[in-house]
């Protein structure tokens, strides 16, 4: 029995996000092999329960081999099989409709062309065919809450967006369009997340499936599908090779507001490698400052994350080879020119995210904060205080009124700023920061903090313009313990020595 | 990196894609066989707590 293997050149191309057709076919064989292995283990784990339906499945394969194989290769079959085997081995929910693939598939997979919606788009010789599934109960296994059955208008919106997305991808991102056509099989519409403008997900057990809320337009769908296809490809790679070996220590992720383990950082870097490439080509084709901003922002984030993964020591040999290829790919883009104002804002956006992440996820013990306050009052040197990581109980999406303002500015909008965030507002400091008037911005942030020491946005703004990006959470905790409200910049300078 | 003259990355997964369902459950596994290793790797995967990769803000 042959092991699935890849040449080093094919493996490196995968790491660079540029797999060829043969490699993608290899990943599809790997996914089917995994489904079959799951099926075998289910039958072995529960022979009394599985025996009868497995016998029927074998009989079906003899009479209709291609159709049966297609059902077994379906991403939702993989999701179901993994779910079922986990439940058999480790306990857990056992919904009646998912205990027997024969019935489940009979209702939902075998009849998919009738029950689900088949979308097909063709442009300039390339075709994308996907199933838009709003009926199969197994679709909930992808991890997000499925949308209700689509209305005719909602289905038409998906078709319109997919047509526009495919035209854009084929015309300006043809290599990525080819990859997407080879990976994507299924899109499951999901309910929107009130804290995000668009949400999407993949499951490690369902290669080629994407769960996604209704896209805003073709561009959003195009970049969202590229992003999720990367996750799906990486899921297939990690089913073949162990990429991370050391215990998972959560760390900073430029894409999330919560700490992420090395495997999550790798997923983010790999998904955003495709996103970066998308915006690079968009910026070159259109000259759009917003596209250039996204390109400038994500190339730094991908490269930085790859560097931290390599330095962190958690990667296996296979993981190191993969990340090296990823890093080499993004490395070729780092020196490409970006208009200075756009580059400055992209740098601010990344630094702002890191500062907010620290305030959110790193805590200072109250006793240490009180010791800092006491030393300040005495006029003594500050004691050395360290913060500690406080793992977030759940995932957190990026949420920044300042980022909204940057997007607004880059779009060239001249009307009043509308910030779609709870409690979000564009401060005078932020307006000055975006305009490059750091003196006015600094003054505004100082006044804002003195007026309200709990204003995290003012603190991160102050750190940005004063270029004091180190241990902001310690500065904020000490200041809030003071009771008095001195100049926050003076206090920050005192702590950093 | 494998020590072969021609570098190759050999996975823990065996290629079952051409196997019939009838043959699938007849497979036997020795402790050190490729199939046994694939089964153990699959068990490890399933035992790990997973989460969907979610949270992409696709609209600007």
Domain coordinates of chain A in residue numbers? 8-240, 245-335, 340-418+426-496
Nearest to A131 by CA among A177, A185, A84: A185
Task: Going from the first residue of chain B to its last (60 residues), give the mean pLDDT of each consecutive group of 10, the final group possibly shorter.
Answer: 66 94 88 88 86 61
**Using the beta-carbon criterion (under 8 Å), do B53 and A231 form an inter-chain contact?**
yes
Count how many Cα atoms sit within 13 Å of the Cα of residue B26 in the half-sphere of its side chain: 7
- Tell me, yes or no, if A232 comes closer than 8 A to chain B by beta carbon: no
Residue appearing with tokens 């250039």: A292
* H-run or E-run covering A130: strand A126-132
Lowest mean pLDDT among A363-372, A386-395, B38-47: A386-395
Read off the pLDDT band of A113 (50, 70, 90). very low
Q: Under an 8 Å CB criterion, which residues of B touch A? A: 1, 6-17, 19-22, 24-25, 27, 33-35, 38-39, 42-43, 45-47, 50-60
Higher pLDDT, B57 or A46: A46
**Using the beta-carbon criterion (under 8 Å), do B17 and A29 form an inter-chain contact?**
yes
Best mutation target, B1, B6, B7, B13, to test chain A (most A CBs within 10 A) = B13
Residue of B nearest to A231 (CA): B53
Residue in A5, A86, A224 closest to B46 by CB: A86
Best mutation target, B4, B8, B9, to test chain A (most A CBs within 10 A) = B9
Residue A203, pLDDT > 50, answer yes
Which pLDDT score is estimated for A90?
A: 81
Residue A106, pLDDT > 70, answer no
Torsion of CA A63, A64, A69, A70, to 10 degrees: -160
Which pLDDT score is estimated for A447?
A: 94
The distance of Cα A245 from the centroid of its chain, to the nearest Å, equals: 22
Nearest to A392 by CA among A426, A360, A356: A360
Lowest mean pLDDT among A159-168, A202-211, A418-427, B33-42: A418-427
For chain A, the average pLDDT equals: 90
Residues in chain B, overall count:
60
- Return the number of other C-beta atoms located less than 10 Å from residue A92's C-beta: 10
Mean pLDDT along residues A273-289:
97
Q: What percentage of chain B reaches a pLDDT higher than 70?
A: 67
Higher pLDDT, A295 or A143: A295
- Tell me, yes or no, if A223 comes closer than 8 A to chain B by beta carbon: yes
Q: pLDDT tens digits, residue range A220-271? A: 999 999 999 999 999 999 999 999 997 778 899 999 888 899 999 999 999 9
CA angle A265, A269, A270 (to 5 degrees): 115
Residue appearing with tokens 């009868």: A52
Nearest to A449 by CA among A422, A419, A489, A494: A489
Give the separation between CA A175 and CA A310, rounded to whole angstroms: 28
Torsion of CA A97, A101, A105, A109, to 10 degrees: 110
Which pLDDT score is estimated for A101?
A: 59
Nearest to B42 by CA among A39, A304, A463: A39
**Alpha carbon distance, N-terminus to C-terminus of chain B:** 41
């Amino acid at each position: 029995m042959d092991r699935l293997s890849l040449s080093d050149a094919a493996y490196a191309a995968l790491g660079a996000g540029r797999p060829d057709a043969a490699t993608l076919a290899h990943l599809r064989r790997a996914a089917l092999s995994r489904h079959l292995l799951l099926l075998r283990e289910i039958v072995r784990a529960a022979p009394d329960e599985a025996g009868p339906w497995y016998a029927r499945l074998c009989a079906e394969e003899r009479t209709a081999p291609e159709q049966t194989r297609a059902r077994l290769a379906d991403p939702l079959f993989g999701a179901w099989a993994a779910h079922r085997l986990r439940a058999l081995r480790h306990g857990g929910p056992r919904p009646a409709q998912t205990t027997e693939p024969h019935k489940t598939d009979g209702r939902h997979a075998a009849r998919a062309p009738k029950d689900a919606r088949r979308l097909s788009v063709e442009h300039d010789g390339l075709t994308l065919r996907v199933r838009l599934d709003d009926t199969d109960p197994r679709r909930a296994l992808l991890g997000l809450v499925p949308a209700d059955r689509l209305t005719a208008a909602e289905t038409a919106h998906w078709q319109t967006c997919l047509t526009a997305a495919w035209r854009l991808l084929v015309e300006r991102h043809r290599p990525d369009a080819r990859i997407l056509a080879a990976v994507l099989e299924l899109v499951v519409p999901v309910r929107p997340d009130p804290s995000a403008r668009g949400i999407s997900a993949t499951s490690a057990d369902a290669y080629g499936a994407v769960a996604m809320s209704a896209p805003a337009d073709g561009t959003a769908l195009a970049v969202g599908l590229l992003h999720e296809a990367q996750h799906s490809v990486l899921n297939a790679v990690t089913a073949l090779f162990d990429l991370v070996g050391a215990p998972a220590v959560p760390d900073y992720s430029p894409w999330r507001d919560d700490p992420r383990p090395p495997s999550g950082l790798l997923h983010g870097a790999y998904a955003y490698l495709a996103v970066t490439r998308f915006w690079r080509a968009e910026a070159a084709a259109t000259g759009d400052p917003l596209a250039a901003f996204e390109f400038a922002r994500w190339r730094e984030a991908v490269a930085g994350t790859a560097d931290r993964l390599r330095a962190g020591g958690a990667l296996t040999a296979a993981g190191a080879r993969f990340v090296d290829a990823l890093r080499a790919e993004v490395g070729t883009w780092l020196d490409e020119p970006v208009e200075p104002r756009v580059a400055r804002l992209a740098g601010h956006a990344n630094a702002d995210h890191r500062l907010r992440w620290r305030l959110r996820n790193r805590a200072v013990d109250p006793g240490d904060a009180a010791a800092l306050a006491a030393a300040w009052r005495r006029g003594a040197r500050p004691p050395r205080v360290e913060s500690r990581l406080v793992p977030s109980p759940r995932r957190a999406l990026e949420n920044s009124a300042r980022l909204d303002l940057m997007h607004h500015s880059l779009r060239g909008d001249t009307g009043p700023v509308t910030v779609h965030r709870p409690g979000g507002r564009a401060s005078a400091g932020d307006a000055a920061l975006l305009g490059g008037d750091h003196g006015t911005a600094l003054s505004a942030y100082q006044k804002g903090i003195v007026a309200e020491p709990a204003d995290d946005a003012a603190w991160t703004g102050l750190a940005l313009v004063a270029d004091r990006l180190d241990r902001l959470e310690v500065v904020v905790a000490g200041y809030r313990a003071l009771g008095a409200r001195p100049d926050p910049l003076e206090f920050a300078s005192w702590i950093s020595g | 990196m494998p020590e072969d003259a021609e570098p190759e990355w050999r996975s823990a997964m065996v290629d079952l894609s051409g196997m019939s369902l009838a043959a699938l459950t007849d497979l036997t596994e020795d402790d050190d066989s490729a199939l046994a290793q694939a089964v153990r790797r699959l068990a490890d995967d399933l035992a790990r707590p997973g989460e969907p990769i979610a949270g992409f803000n696709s609209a600007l």
